[in-house]
Amino acid sequence: MLLETTREENPLRKGMERERSPEPCVMVIFGASGDLTSRKLLPAIYNLAREHYLPSGFSLVGFARTSMSNEQFRQQMFEAVQEFSRTQPVSQPVWESFSQGIFYHAADYNDPAAYEKLVEFLIQLDRERGTMGNRVFYLATPPGVYSTIIQQLGISGLAKPASNDSWVRIIIEKPFGRDLESAHALNQLASQVFTEDQIYRIDHYLGKETVQNILVFRFANGIFEPIWNRRYIDHVQITVSETIGMEGRGSYYDESGAIRDMVQNHMMQLLSLICMEPPIAMGANAVRDEKVKVLHAVRPIQPDEVLDFTVRGQYGPGVIGGKQVPGYRQEKGIKPNSTTETYVAIKFFVDNWRWAGVPFYLRSGKRLPKRVSEVAIQFKQAPLLLFKNSRMAGLDPNVLALRIQPDEGISLKFGAKIPGQTIQILPVNMDFRYGSSFGVEPPDAYERLLLDCMLGEATLFTRSDEVEVAWDFVTRILKGWQQHPPEDFPNYPAGSWGPERASQFIETDGRTWRRP
Ligand SMILES: NC(=O)c1ccc[n+]([C@@H]2O[C@H](COP(=O)([O-])OP(=O)(O)OC[C@H]3O[C@@H](n4cnc5c(N)ncnc54)[C@H](OP(=O)(O)O)[C@@H]3O)[C@@H](O)[C@H]2O)c1
């Protein structure tokens, strides 16, 4: 084990995090009858309540069209927590106290009268539960409804704080637009109604402990930063692979595809954290300024270059975990002749002083053999003249792998001498594992992010310029793909590591994809 932390040293166990206590507030979730609310939001808020992070009087108002009473909504949310909470069983005392603050407002998203009623109800909650005029609005509807809700929040006056002492914030779910133009339009609309510091664009990857640890790993340790540049690094691979197929989300995915679903948001975020310069503080703007600089330094892939710098794939039928699974075009909600990509690999460069000349290889796909998210930094090969007569069982270059999920941790691969009378070298790993080193279960990403929003801490949310630069990069690729429709889809069987061309793509550069 590379790193061991004793129970006494562990700050989480000392309860230092309890200092994070937000002011009383109400959270209004639009689309509260939906999947995200049940699967992620309610379990996260319940766990915050259970761990005493929620402010006194915290209240939750579900807003959606489905007709339900407060009691029915509470029951639905209780079942959601029972099914999806990371902590089980559900604590009855916590639930009873927490559920008294849960309410439901059945209405149309475009009905001005519904918002007037909401205003009255929120004022009533301020009086009865002491929520002090502080509000978080959460957009958890399909993205097509976001602009209607934002406009109505503006018209009804709900977007403006009621007094100098109160605050109003809005959390906007992904996808934030489907290309540069639509993302820009949504930013424009949001900025007419809210100020930038009221807007929290959520990317749940940034709530993951392992993603936040990238900054700690790089900037709280003295030994990595000096070698974190083009002089020592050969290339970087970022992989986000999934074993699942559509899981009932086919109609959403068919409009999106791998590049919109994964690359524009999660993977560009990982890239910017890996590549950024040290910020001057951990504050929201200092960190985001540095992230945006990285995205600006990414060399754009022009539409006529897409075939050289990207590979698209779509899975056909195959076998995953010993089970036969259908191809993408046979999944529910997918057009039988769909040309949506379920796999993407991209090569690009970050043209700044730190990274010039270092290729970055990104890949993401569905129905791949393993679920894994990782960033692998491969260092340059050492000169091996000294060992030219030794047996080197495939002495690979050093690789530092940051495992985001699952089996969260960090490993460093290096060559070691096999015990014996001769010099024989074998690659071995130094390994840090979150689970065994800290012995505590990390909070879910949504717990961290919801709490941060209530605290007014925006570092882990994306800023308008960040979203647009990332979309600019992706939109050029999408335009190029439109000009070159795929001719060979489906081009990889479910359960394989993607299309054959993806291997050739990296092998032409004398490198290979890692097998995580
Ligand atoms: N589910 C996830 O795990 C997940 C993960 C990341 C991001 N997201 C994002 O979070 C948002 C919500 O996701 P979700 O899975 O909860 O969506 P959902 O279940 O499809 O929709 C949420 C609610 O919105 C309302 N709604 C659905 N279609 C609508 C339409 N065409 N017009 C108006 N209202 C409609 C429905 O409530 P009423 O009919 O009662 O009004 C529905 O219960 C989406 O933008 C999604 O991309 C979801």
Q: Domain spans of the chain? A: 20-173, 206-507
Q: Write phi, then psi, for 66 (nearest 5 degrees).
A: -55, 135
Active site (annotated) includes residue 266 = yes
What residues contact 200, with CB distance under 8 A and at least 6 apart?
Answer: 169, 170, 171, 172, 449, 453, 458, 461
* pLDDT tops 50 at residue 14: no
CA distance 202 to 140: 11
Write the CA distances from 479 to 94, 307, 345, 476, integer angstroms: 51, 12, 16, 5
Nearest CA to ligand 1 atom 42: 34
* pLDDT tops 80 at residue 384: no
Give the whole-number percent of the chain exceeding pLDDT 90: 86
Residue 419: its pLDDT value, please?
A: 92
**How confident is the prediction for the chain on average, in pLDDT?**
93
| Closest ligand 1 atom to 249 CA | 15
Residue 392: its pLDDT value, please?
A: 61
| Contact predicate 180/471, CB 8 Å | yes
Domain 206-507 has CATH 3.30.360.10: yes
Q: Token digits for 145?
A: 């409804």
Best mutation site among 63, 141, 252, 253 for ligand 1, i.e. most ligand atoms within 8 A of its Cβ?
Answer: 141
pLDDT tens digits along 215-247: 999 999 999 999 999 999 999 999 999 999 999
pLDDT tens digits along 91-128: 999 999 999 999 999 999 999 999 999 999 999 999 99
- Over residues 430-442, the mean pLDDT reads 87
- The answer to whether 20-173 and 206-507 have equal CATH topology is no
pLDDT tens digits along 160-216: 999 999 999 999 999 999 999 999 999 999 999 999 999 999 999 999 989 999 999
Residue of 52, 266, 296, 484 with catalytic role: 266
Confidence category of residue 505, pLDDT binned at 50, 70, 90:
very high
| Contact predicate 384/395, CB 8 Å | yes
Domain 20-173 has CATH 3.40.50.720: yes
Nearest to 334 by CA among 321, 319, 315, 318: 315
Residue 159: its pLDDT value, please?
A: 98
Residue 9: its pLDDT value, please?
A: 41
Confidence category of residue 8, pLDDT binned at 50, 70, 90:
very low
State yes or no: cis peptide before 279, omega within 30 of 0: no
Nearest CA to ligand 1 atom 46: 142
